[in-house]
Amino acid sequence: MTLPDILYKYTSPKSALAVLESSRLRWAAPHTFNDIGEYQRMPCFEPSIADSYEAYVDRILDVAYGIKASEEVSLSEGAKALLHVCRMRAAQGTKRSWSKALVLQDRAADPDGVLAKGLRAFFQSPAGKTHLVLCLTGDPSNEVMWGTYAGEHAGCVLGFRHLPERGTPLLGAKPVVYTNHPYVSGSGLDFLLFGQSPAHLTAAREAVWYTKTPRWSYEEEWRVVTARELPADTEFQHFLFYPEELESITFCARAASDFVEQVRAIQREKYPHSRLFHMTADAGCWARTVVS
């Protein structure tokens, strides 16, 4: 998906004034989001660890019994330990089939569930809460979000452009994927053989950060994530943006005249290059028009 030229932030009147006066946007911790399912949906392996276990045992036994060349250097610590045990059994004359039966009878119950539980616990721990998220959208005319995030149609939408020459953070925005299916972050067989690779960890993080259920798809959300050392229980921090980043301000249909005048005064002083729009509703149809 192509990064939109403009990304929008829906704000209540109070929040809009705070943002415009300070030139700072609030980046929030995920546990403060209104979707209580955030960071609960973990990625999975395909095929799963459970379904891959027999193939994993066969690969280890093939090496232990000299059928295939050793991959020991790249194996995970768990795979190396199993290979050592299987080699000992092979040296003792244990048949391959019997050795396989012994390994399979010791397999863990629900390994995929255990891994998902561990990942979920990590993302809920202090170590997993070292990042903040800025949530935006590519749609400035979404009437549902006007009602939900913009003070019941009384606030405004702030549009932000990218400044490539300054490397502005919104250049790193990524789209949220809306799906009922767990994100596949790798193969269960590869995980058993080689452990968690950096690529798998990156995929797991991105699956958690950028995946939501389809009921949220109306938001057409884009997210920017920043990782940094945070004090315990941090809920948000405010980060500066360049005045030139503010491309537009769009008032909603119920924006009070005094609020509009306050915003326009700030806009004239700090953001004279930005454009002003107003949302109007006529016979159930919405229109975004330029404010003269």
pLDDT in tens, 184-211: 888 999 999 998 888 777 888 888 889 9
- Residue 191 and residue 49 in contact, taking contact as beta carbons nearer than 8 Å: yes
> Domain ranges in the chain?
6-40+130-290, 44-115
Residue 74 and residue 194: Cα distance in Å, rounded? 6
**pTM for the model:** 0.85
283 band by pLDDT with thresholds 50, 70 and 90: confident
Tell me which of 1-5, 119-123, 125-129, 213-217 is least confident: 125-129
β-sheet bridge partners, residue 285:
282
Question: Which pLDDT belongs to residue 35?
Answer: 81
Residue 7 and residue 218: Cα distance in Å, rounded? 15
Percent of the chain with pLDDT over 70: 98
Q: Which of 2, 11, 25 is nearest to 226 (CA)?
A: 25
Residue 185 and residue 45: Cα distance in Å, rounded? 6
Q: Which of 248, 214, 211 is nearest to 9 (CA)?
A: 248
Average pLDDT over residues 19-40: 87
Residue 154 and residue 80: Cα distance in Å, rounded? 62
Average pLDDT over residues 223-247: 87
Question: Which pLDDT belongs to residue 248?
Answer: 98
Question: Which pLDDT belongs to residue 258?
Answer: 97
Which residue pairs, CB below 8 angstroms and at least 24 apart, start in 266-270? Answer: 266/17, 266/20, 266/21, 267/20, 270/20, 270/23, 270/243
Contacts of 12 (CB under 8 A, 6+ apart): 149, 150, 151, 154, 155
Query: Taking 80 as the threshold, does the pLDDT of residue 67 lie above it?
Result: yes
Query: Taking 70 as the threshold, does the pLDDT of residue 82 lie above it?
Result: yes
256 band by pLDDT with thresholds 50, 70 and 90: very high
Query: Taking 90 as the threshold, does the pLDDT of residue 137 lie above it?
Result: yes
Helix ranges (DSSP H) in 105-162:
111-124, 143-149
**Phi and psi, residue 26, nearest 5°:** -85, 120
232 band by pLDDT with thresholds 50, 70 and 90: low
Query: Taking 90 as the threshold, does the pLDDT of residue 147 lie above it?
Result: yes
Q: What is the DSSP letter of 40?
A: T
Average pLDDT over residues 71-93: 91
Which helix (H) or strand (E) segment is 282 a member of?
strand 275-282
Query: Taking 70 as the threshold, does the pLDDT of residue 64 lie above it?
Result: yes
Model pLDDT for residues 148-177, shown as the tens digit of each residue: 999 999 999 999 999 999 999 999 999 999
**What is the distance of C-alpha 51 from the center of its chain?**
27
Residue 114 and residue 120: Cα distance in Å, rounded? 10
